[in-house]
Every structure is written in structure tokens, then in C-alpha cells.
A and B are shown apart, each in its own frame.
Chain A
Amino acid sequence: MTDLGPDSPAPRRAVLPRSSPKLVTGLALIAAIALFGVAGPLFVGEPGAINDIGLAPPGGGHLLGTTQLGQDVLAQIAYATRGSLYIGVLVGVMATVLSALFGIVGSYVGGAVDEAFSLFSNVMLVIPGLPLVIVISAFVPPEQRGAWTIAVVLAVTGWAGAARVLRAQTLTLRNREYVLAARVAGEPAWRIIVVEMLPNLLPLLASQFVFSVIAAILSEAGLSFLGLGASNSSTLGTMLYYAQNGFALQRGAWWWFVPPGLIIALFGCGLALVNFSIDEIIDPKLRTVPRRIRQRRRAPAPVERPAPDTAVSVRNLSVTYGNAVPAVKDVSLEVRRGEILGLAGESGSGKTTLAYAINRLHRPPAQVTAGSVTFHDRDGGDVDVLALPPGELRAFRWSQLSVVFQGAMNSLNPVMTIRAQLEDVLATHRPHLSRSDRRARCARSLELVGVDPARLRSYPHELSGGMRQRVMIAMAMLLDPQVMIMDEPTSALDVVVQRGILREILRLRDELGFAIVLITHDLPLLLEVSDRIAVMLGGEIVECAATEEILAGPRHAYTRRLLESFPSLTGERGAFVRSGEATGGAR
């Protein structure tokens, strides 16, 4: 996956949710209602106490009015809230324990146990819950009837979905290095589950818990509505049931009918808001909420063509994330027609950000704060890329400047065929082409990169990693662009495939004459293939010179350090790539 942010080591998964307005609101709602349920009954009168002012509207002695029997609605709600919370928490705990048992333990142990547990939870999931609830709740002895019964019934019928999710997650965790290491070290299974895996499953468990609490409170209310609820205890559901049977709505006694539903809704809402925050822990991508930033108009118009063979000039470009972190600082750079410009630097140096900004692929919160990018068409026009309106920008992309991304594995849409993904480039940019022409061009482009055109019918997962990257390159060349940005095009591949593909790229460059911006941290490789090399450090280009110059006498201390970190850079330059001889070469 492309890391668009300042390249930093993968952040450890946080255990506590980050504070956000949502979380604060959610917690406040939950706390308020829980407090009301726990402490409320201490301050209100006897909820069952009957008196003669039936259906009195709110006011006076009764803050929320009275029921048909003159019972104080507020007092009833206080007790009912307590009852509902009790059921909700009971179900939450029981369902979570059950789902953890069947989901985590089963999938950790594996084998027949996993099969059996998984079948069991799938069957439980498939068997319709509500009828089962009705039936089960009908035959619990009446003496034990009440909140507990309903809670058990709801838990028993409600854990299976969560178990499935947990199982899937456990299966991926089971194969993580640290778990494997612990197993090799002979730690007992329970210890591995509790110490190694549970902390990572915690956010998921928490989310499932919160979800089952909401579901339990709602289900209890639904069952009560059908007259199958916790008949001997006081819950919001039973309260609604009585209100409804007392014709509260028909008689306009909203104060009796509306508040219990509202409390459920608010509590559910609070839990849901908390769940949003937990979701953000589980999936950190949900966390950063990009704020749409109004593009600030920058004055500098297209830069004049510095030299006739300049394809792209970048001037004083700065890119920041949010308002704080500058990832690219005042960078100026030129790409010449047909050359290979190497962009070197370690992770986090801003090279990817720079490359994306050139094509305006950076996404919020990243934004260009200064500078310009000008594309110099070989036909003579100059394009201010940063000022292009959306339609023209789309037309510009790929046809003038295409990109081959890091990680070929993920650059292709897994659910579309290769042909569809190649063709939609043509359909967008060359709408006049006939269907057969499109097909022919796609086939030809694959041939060009050495892939059998029969592969057009394949889906990405049916291709090897190397083949996928070739397909990406074929795609990048489809419109005969003048510049191609290649971001770590080969770093995920094994050495032999890597070299094969690079050879291909060089050959194509020689044939078609496009310029390449080659981004990699693999300095030896750059030294072999590129004409010029720009070295980035901390968002700045610290050195930019012809490859020979860099090799001969790096000016910046950082470049020197980089070179020194590769001890064997003394071999015959480019021998491996250009000739294909499998002689040692770099590395």
C-alpha cells in the first residue's frame, strides 16, 4: 500500500481511542444515561405507586407527567433505564465471551475444532434468531423469569455474527511473526491467546461488545412490544409496552410514550459514536478526516521552458500535510525529454510526495503550499499543471504523464479483467477509437512488455507479481506519454524478475523516447540505470547531478553516506541490467 503520509514506521496500533468530538459526545451521552439509570432510582419515588391523577401532563409534582394509573413517568423511566442497561450489559458481556470463545479459541486451535466451532456459529447465525427467542423465552420457568432470562436468550441468539468476524481476524493474527515466534518458543496456547493476541483483538472485541449492547437493548424493546419481554422486571421496553397498551399515543400522552424511546435512541446513539472511535482504532484509515482545502491560488504562471529538451519543470514546490509538517520543501527540479531521472532518498524523505504532487495526485490533508509544476509539451505548449481545471487535469493525466506505482500487487483492480483496466484508459482518453482498435492496442501493448495477449482475459490475481508489473508498465505506455513516473516499480519483486523488468523499461525508453522519473531507495540500481540522480533528504533535494558526477564526487555529505552504505558499488556499472549477465552486479 502506498503510504502517502510522511513515510514513518508503521504506527503501533493505539489501544485507546483518540479524543474527538464524536467520542466526547458519545461518552457524555452514555455517562449521563448510565448515571441516570444507576443513581436516578435513588432520587425518585416508588415507580409503581398508584394515585388518582392519571395521564397528567408534565409539570407540577410530576416532572414528566404521569401514566394512566397516575404513576410518575420520571420514576418509571429511572427504574426502567436501570433495567434496560442491566440487560444490555449482561448481554454484551455474555455475547462477547461466547463469540470470543468460539471465534478466537476455535480459529487459534485450528483443525477439527475450528471446523466444528465455525460450523456451529454459522448454523447459529443462519437459524433465525427472533423465532428462537420467542420459543426459548416461552419455556424458562417463571420463577427465574425476568431480566436474566431475556439476557441469556438474547446472548445465546446473538453472538454468532461477532464470532465470525473475530475468527477472520484471529486467522490473520495467528500467522503474524510474533505469534509464530511465541509458538516456536513453546508458550502455552492460552498464554499466546491472552498475552499475544488478545491485545490486538481488543478493539474489535470492544466494538462487538458495544454493538451487542445496542442490539440487546433494542431487541428487548422489540420483544416487549410483542409481549414477550422481561415481564417481571422493569425495562424501557416493558414501559413502552404499557404505554402502548394504555393507548398513550392515541390519547396524546406523548410524555409517556416518547421519553423511553428517546432514552433508548440516545443511548444507542452514544454507543454508536463510541463505536466510531473504536472503528478508527481497528482501521486507522478511518481516522484522518481530510478537510477539503480550498486551493489557494498561487501567482506563478507557467514557467518558461528553461531548455528545449525540458519536459517538466518544478519550481520552488512545497507540500505540507495539514498545517504542520512540510514533506516537500522548496524543491526545484527539471525532467528532460527521454532521460531517466533517479530520485533517491530513504523512506520519509518526501520523494513519493514530490512525485505525486507533480501529477496532483496528493490527497488531503497534503496540499501544495507554494511553487509550480509546468509541463512542457513536445509540441510546444506549456501547461501549468497545478492550475488545471478538473476536466483538463484528467485529460492531461496518463496521456502526457503516466505513473507506475509502488507495489504492483495492489495497483490493479482485483475485480476487473486486465482488458477492462487497459481499455478504460483508451475509452476515456481516446473515445473515438473503435472497439476492435481498442482491443488491438491493448494486445499490442502487452506484447510490447512481453506478456501473452491471452492474459487480457485474466484477473490480476491470476498473474504473477512480475507479470502484473509488466501489465502496469504496458498500461502506462498505452497513450504514449512523454513522462512516466515510476515509484519503486520493482522493489516488491525478486531480483531476477526485477532486472528483467528494468531491462524492458530501458528498451522501451530507447524505442519510444519517454522520460522516466524513477523513484527508489535502491541507490545501486539508480546508479546503474539513470542519467541523472536527485537525492532527497528531509523534503529537500540536497543534490542533483549526472550519475557519473555523483559516483565520482558526491558533493553532499548525505549522498556520500548513502554511497558508502553500499560497499560493492565499484563493479562495472550497469553490467547486469544492460547485458543481463548474471554476474554479481550490484548487491
Chain B
Amino acid sequence: MSMKTPRAFTRVAAGFAASIVVAGCSSSAGAPGQAAGASSGAGGSAGASKPLVVYTGATGDIQPIFNPYLPGSLGGGGMIFESLFFYNIVRNEAPRPRLGESFSWNDDGTELSITLRSGVNWSDGRPFTAKDVVFTLNMIAKYKALNNTGYRGKATATDDTHVVIKFDEPSFLDGPQILGRIWIVPEHKWKDFPDPTKEQLREAVGTGPYLVDDLKPQAFTLKANPGYRDGEPAVKKIRFPSLSGNQSGATALKAGQIDWQTGPVPDIANVEQSYPGYKLIITPLNQMVMDTCANADLGCKGPQTDPAVRQAMYYAVNRTQLNALAFENTSAEISPSMALVQRDQAVMSGRLQNKVAPMQPDPAKAQQILESAGYAKGADGIYAKDGKPVKLTLKTVAGWTDYITAADTLSQQLAKSGIKVTAQQLSYNEWAGARQRGDFQLMLDSLFQGPAADPFYVYSYFYSTDSTDKVGGAAGNNVSRFSDPEVDKALAELKKIDISDTAPRQPYFDTIQTRIEQAMPYIPLLTQGTINIYNAGKFTGWPAKEDLYAFPAAWQAPDASEIYLRLKPTGK
């Protein structure tokens, strides 16, 4: 998902590390008290004992919060606490077992049976059983504030290794959330907490591959769990520094103090020359779009409520230039179906006009769309209809320099097709508020993916009537206020079909994709690459383009834990 623009992070990255994020401190590699740049000198001696230093974008002092259900929790899912399965969101593949061994649904998707691994112990030596799973599920069902997966089932343990969850309605698509994003906690520790929503959990007992080593305001360190069921991980220590942003990240990286960073680096094209031993991997995942407040029925105002205007903008954009100028060519093609171009090839509808949005502008097409919708160019070169010119405001966040550049580039490009777009910068707070209230015409934004490699989630988050509200109200994720009964119906039907049952799902995907290609409430721009720079000299086993066994992003849980489990120190 997303990671908005690299540079955006600078200011915004924020203390809200979220359940996904980790943090820790900097000067890892340098010998104690030694000046910057000492890291490479650490070679030879005891490379294996040197921690892997990961910068997740965390800022500010680190507070000891290990409760995985709180937004500021450290470590992230999959590290100390584990889920039952791992869902890879960048590759269409079967879920991999973690605490679970296998699972199956009944035919109508109302009952989920899970078989757990046996012989797993908590880090305090007590055995892990189905009771812990049931306890965890019941706890999040009871405390709505912890229930960030929308779990609505009723769980029972049939024996120590079997759990059955019953649902009132077909819930195939809740599976990845429940199996992949609920972190199982030990009943024997948690049952005594008076209110788990207020529990910081300074000392965490989990089943995961890592344990808390130490915590300082500048960094926290995790150490390998010697009793981990698959053997102690090869990377013995992982340190997460907290810096003031990407500038400091770049500084620390230059000094060799960081082994893995997700985020922008200076001069992306030449990373491997400027940082010897380091490698770069860019994974396109976030779909960068212009949000439009599209639905006049729900109170949206402005030319963008006309689908013809949105279509025209879609064709008028020069995506190649946009990618080069604003994103240093780190972004990739996008599909107007909002299915990911590579990953979701199989489910992309054959009825789409374009499977992939054109990288070159098509001003003629834009002109034709506008003119056949009744627009005519005014004296100022701007199209107008009924005396109302096509003039729009595009909101971006002050400080997100690449988005600001993108906005400027877009307004220059669109002006050539007779559409006047004025870029406006807002503070992050205002931007987020305006986005939720529908107080905008256009907004640069990006759509994020769900818990499994399936486009259903994007459709359900951003296109369903359920997750929107009228202008002025607090919309969920569907900030465009798009509402289409056909799409809603298709989404409801999809929920009744098992994800692995591809053939029956396709007609519904066809419907959704063609409807949204036509309506285009989010104007697709590019699929933005998530940039990772990592020290391939000190550690091997990193994900590669050919082997994306997890989504590479230091802040992404539980993907990061999958990566740590595969890394091996080279001893250098």
C-alpha cells in the first residue's frame, strides 16, 4: 500500500507509527562514541553480532508500547506477536502458515475452521493453544476500540489445535483480515488486564521470532527469540532508530548507519554507485490518483462532477513526463480498472477500454470527449459549458514536494487541453480534514491495497456506498462520494464467493471494472513505487523483483517479519 511519496515522509512520517511501524535509533554500526561513517569500519570482527538497523520513518522519542492493537505499537505484527497466516499482497499466492497450519471455509462462507500448529510455546515457556486464539478473538470482539479488522464472528475451540469461527453472513473476504492481521496474544497474561485498550504492555510475551531487547527514546532493539519454533532467526538483533525524517535518514544512510530504509534517497538513479554494498528495490503498489468529489447527488460541486470532465483529464495527462519530473521514474503504469497491472492481470476484465492507462497524452480524445458532452472552448482557451468554465482546484499537502511538483506538472499539462487546474497547498491536517468532508474538487492522493492480493479490497474500500457519506459528513475511505448500485451489488455478491474460486467472481469484477472505468471517480495517474534501499553486503536474502516473497517496506507488517526471517548476515 501506499507510502505516499517518499519525500512526503519528511515531515509527515510522524509518531503515529501505527501497528505497522517500528522505530529505533541510529548510530548502530558506528563504534561507540565514534564519528559518523564508522560503520563500514565495523567489518571483520563480529559482523553477525552487529544489529540490523532499520529505519521505518519513525520520528520523535520512542515510547514503550508493545500492545499490538494500539496505533503506536512498536515492533509490528509478525515480530513479537504473530498472526495465523501470512498473506502476500504483492504476489498472487496461497497464504503461508504462521501459527496456523491450515484453514477451510464451509460452502456459504459462514464457518471458518482453522487447524493450529502444535508444539508452539510462548516466549515465557507456556504452551500456545487454541484457547489463546479464542481469547484473542473474543477480546477484540468485546473491545470495539481494538477491533481494527472488523471481526464479527463467534469463535470456539474444539480442542487444543482447532478453532471454529462462525459468522452471521458470508464472510469469505474477511478471511485475510482475520487470518493475516489479527495478532494472537497469550490468554494467561492478558486475561488480567482490566482494560486492554489502556494497556501499554511494556513487557511483551509472544510467539514471534523476536523479543524486546532494550528500549531507549532514540531507538529500540529486538533480539532473536532462541525458542522460536522454526529455530532462532539468523539475524540476532534488529534495531529501529527514530530520526527526524527522511533528511536525517539520508544522512544516516550516507554514514552507513542504516541497513534498510524505505523511503526516498538522494539521486535514486545512482544509488548503487553512491552507496557501495547497497541495493535498491522499487515495488509499485500505491495507485496514485486524483480524487475527485464526483457525486453531485451527495453534495459535490464543480466541473469534476461531470464524468466527461474526469475522462478528459484522464486522457490529457502525460504520464511519462509526470513520472520523470515528479517521481524520478520510480512509478509504473496504472490500470483504469484499479486492478494492479502485474499482480491482478488474471482478473482484469476483457471489456475494459484500456487495460492500462495511456502513458502518452491524447489531447484529441480529451477534446472529443468534452465537445461531445457539450463543452466549448472560451476566449481564454478554457472549455466551458452553460457559462461555467472548467476551472478546478487541486489540493496537495504542503511539504510533499514530489506531489507538489506533480500538481504543478499536471496543471501545465491539463492547461494544454483547455482545463484549468490551480494547485493549492494545505497543511496535512487540513488536507486530511478536507478529504474526509468532501471539501475539495481535486486532490492528489493514493489508493491502498487490502490484506490480500486481491482487487476486491480496493473496490470495497473506495467505491462502495457503505464507506461514503454526503459532503460535510465524515466519509470512510470513499472520499469521492462515488455511489453506484451496480457496483454495490457486485461487491455484495463477491463477499459470498471464496477468493480461490476465480471463475464465478469474474463477472462481478467485469461489472465493477467497467463501471469505474466509465465513471472514474478517482482519475488514475500512476502506480507509485515504494523505494527500498538495503545493505546487500551485510545481509543476504532480501526480496527481489523475481522473488517478491513479501512486500518490501520496513514499515509494513507482517511483511517485514517475513523478510527478517529470511535474512542472513554475511559476516562482513
Q: Do chains A and B touch in the complex (CB under 8 A)?
A: yes
Q: A227 to B251, Cβ gap below 8 A? A: no
Q: A247 to B405, Cβ gap below 8 A? A: no
Complex Cα spacing A52 to B409, Å:
13
Listed A/B pairs (7) with beta-carbon separation below 8 Å: A142-B395, A227-B399, A228-B427, A231-B425, A245-B246, A247-B250, A250-B266
How many A-B pairs have beta carbons closer than 8 Å: the answer is 58
**Residues of chain B with a CB closer than 8 A to A48's CB:** 408
Q: Does A69 contact B (CB under 8 A)?
A: yes
Q: Does A12 contact B (CB under 8 A)?
A: no
Q: Does A432 contact B (CB under 8 A)?
A: no
Identify the closest chain B residue to A238 (Cβ). Answer: B398
8 Å CB interface, B228-283 against A: 246-247, 250-251, 254, 264-267
Show the binding face of B for A, using Cβ within 8 Å: 7, 10-11, 246-247, 250-251, 254, 264-267, 324-325, 395, 398-399, 401, 405, 408-409, 412, 424-427, 429-430
Identify the closest chain A residue to B428 (Cβ). Answer: A227
Q: Does A434 contact B (CB under 8 A)?
A: no
Q: A251 to B425, Cβ gap below 8 A? A: no
**Residues of chain B with a CB closer than 8 A to A145's CB:** 425-426
Asked whether A138 and B412 contact (CB < 8 A) given A242-B401, A250-B251, the answer is no
Complex Cα spacing A226 to B401, Å:
13
**Residues of chain A with a CB closer than 8 A to B266's CB:** 247, 250-251
Given contacts A50-B408, A245-B246, 7 further A-B contacts (CB under 8 A): A142-B425, A143-B424, A145-B425, A231-B399, A231-B425, A250-B250, A250-B251
Q: B247 to A244, Cβ gap below 8 A? A: yes
Q: A245 to B10, Cβ gap below 8 A? A: yes
Asked whether A250 and B254 contact (CB < 8 A) given A138-B427, A142-B430, A227-B10, the answer is yes
Q: Does A222 contact B (CB under 8 A)?
A: no
**Residues of chain A with a CB closer than 8 A to B247's CB:** 244-245, 247
Interface residues of A: mostly helix, strand, loop or mixed?
A: loop
Identify the closest chain A residue to B423 (Cβ). Answer: A232
Closest 10 CB pairs of A and B: A247-B266, A231-B398, A227-B399, A231-B425, A227-B11, A250-B266, A245-B401, A251-B266, A142-B426, A245-B7
Cross-interface CB contact of A251 among B10, B267, B395, B426, cutoff 8 Å: B267
Identify the closest chain B residue to A250 (Cβ). Answer: B266
**Residues of chain A with a CB closer than 8 A to B265's CB:** 247
Q: Does A302 contact B (CB under 8 A)?
A: no
Q: Scoring A residues 249 to 289 as 1 if CB is less than 8 Å from chain B, else 0, what string do you get?
A: 01100000000000000000000000000000000000000
Q: A50 to B425, Cβ gap below 8 A? A: no
8 Å CB interface, A128-147 against B: 137-138, 142-143, 145
Q: B425 to A138, Cβ gap below 8 A? A: no
**Residues of chain B with a CB closer than 8 A to A244's CB:** 247
Asked whether A69 and B405 contact (CB < 8 A) given A245-B247, A247-B266, the answer is yes
Q: Does A574 contact B (CB under 8 A)?
A: no
Complex Cα spacing A142 to B426, Å:
6
Complex Cα spacing A48 to B408, Å:
8
8 Å CB interface, A210-251 against B: 226-228, 231-232, 241-242, 244-247, 250-251
- A80: min CB distance to chain B, Å: 15
**Residues of chain B with a CB closer than 8 A to A142's CB:** 395, 424-426, 430
8 Å CB interface, A90-106 against B: none
**Residues of chain A with a CB closer than 8 A to B7's CB:** 245-246
Complex Cα spacing A227 to B10, Å:
9
Kindly state the interface size class of chain A when it binds its partner.
20 to 34
Q: Scoring A residues 333 to 360 as 1 if CB is less than 8 Å from chain B, else 0, what string do you get?
A: 0000000000000000000000000000
Q: A50 to B409, Cβ gap below 8 A? A: yes
Complex Cα spacing A241 to B425, Å:
14
Q: B401 to A138, Cβ gap below 8 A? A: no
Identify the closest chain A residue to B430 (Cβ). Answer: A142
Q: B401 to A50, Cβ gap below 8 A? A: no
- B416: min CB distance to chain A, Å: 14
Asked whether A50 and B429 contact (CB < 8 A) given A246-B401, A250-B250, A250-B254, the answer is no
Complex Cα spacing A226 to B325, Å:
24
Asked whether A138 and B398 contact (CB < 8 A) given A69-B325, A250-B250, A250-B251, the answer is no
Q: A50 to B398, Cβ gap below 8 A? A: no
Q: B425 to A232, Cβ gap below 8 A? A: yes
**Residues of chain A with a CB closer than 8 A to B401's CB:** 242, 245-246
Q: Scoring A residues 426 to 469 as 1 if CB is less than 8 Å from chain B, else 0, what string do you get?
A: 00000000000000000000000000000000000000000000
**Residues of chain A with a CB closer than 8 A to B267's CB:** 247, 251
Identify the closest chain B residue to A141 (Cβ). Answer: B430
Q: B10 to A50, Cβ gap below 8 A? A: no
**Residues of chain A with a CB closer than 8 A to B399's CB:** 227, 231, 241, 245
**Residues of chain B with a CB closer than 8 A to A250's CB:** 250-251, 254, 266
**Residues of chain B with a CB closer than 8 A to A69's CB:** 325, 405
Identify the closest chain A residue to B6 (Cβ). Answer: A245
Complex Cα spacing A250 to B424, Å:
29
Complex Cα spacing A232 to B401, Å:
12
**Residues of chain A with a CB closer than 8 A to B424's CB:** 142-143, 232
- A245: min CB distance to chain B, Å: 4
**Residues of chain A with a CB closer than 8 A to B426's CB:** 142, 145, 231
8 Å CB interface, A39-85 against B: 48, 50, 52, 69
Identify the closest chain B residue to A137 (Cβ). Answer: B427
- A133: min CB distance to chain B, Å: 13
- A532: min CB distance to chain B, Å: 78
Identify the closest chain A residue to B321 (Cβ). Answer: A50
- B377: min CB distance to chain A, Å: 24
Complex Cα spacing A138 to B428, Å:
9
- A79: min CB distance to chain B, Å: 14
Complex Cα spacing A50 to B404, Å:
13
Complex Cα spacing A118 to B265, Å:
51
Cross-interface CB contact of B429 among A52, A138, A245, cutoff 8 Å: A138
Identify the closest chain A residue to B405 (Cβ). Answer: A69
Complex Cα spacing A143 to B426, Å:
9
Q: B254 to A50, Cβ gap below 8 A? A: no
Complex Cα spacing A251 to B254, Å:
11
- A359: min CB distance to chain B, Å: 58
Complex Cα spacing A250 to B395, Å:
30
Complex Cα spacing A264 to B34, Å:
35
Question: Most B CB atoms within 10 A — which of A137, A227, A242, A246?
Answer: A227
Complex Cα spacing A2 to B570, Å:
82
**Residues of chain B with a CB closer than 8 A to A226's CB:** 11
Cross-interface CB contact of B412 among A50, A137, A143, A231, cutoff 8 Å: A50
Complex Cα spacing A299 to B412, Å:
85
- B276: min CB distance to chain A, Å: 16
Identify the closest chain B residue to A232 (Cβ). Answer: B425
Complex Cα spacing A247 to B328, Å:
13
Identify the closest chain B residue to A229 (Cβ). Answer: B398
- B439: min CB distance to chain A, Å: 10
Complex Cα spacing A232 to B407, Å:
13
**Residues of chain A with a CB closer than 8 A to B412's CB:** 50
Q: B430 to A50, Cβ gap below 8 A? A: no
Complex Cα spacing A245 to B266, Å:
9
Identify the closest chain B residue to A248 (Cβ). Answer: B266
**Residues of chain B with a CB closer than 8 A to A50's CB:** 325, 405, 408-409, 412
Complex Cα spacing A244 to B401, Å:
10
Complex Cα spacing A48 to B247, Å:
24
- A254: min CB distance to chain B, Å: 14
Identify the closest chain A residue to B411 (Cβ). Answer: A48
8 Å CB interface, A108-144 against B: 137-138, 142-143
Question: Most A CB atoms within 10 A — which of B10, B265, B405, B429?
Answer: B405
**Residues of chain A with a CB closer than 8 A to B325's CB:** 50, 69
Complex Cα spacing A247 to B11, Å:
14
**Residues of chain A with a CB closer than 8 A to B430's CB:** 138, 142
Identify the closest chain A residue to B395 (Cβ). Answer: A142
Question: Most A CB atoms within 10 A — which of B250, B395, B399, B424?
Answer: B399
**Residues of chain A with a CB closer than 8 A to B425's CB:** 142, 145, 231-232
Complex Cα spacing A48 to B405, Å:
9
**Residues of chain B with a CB closer than 8 A to A241's CB:** 399
- A136: min CB distance to chain B, Å: 12
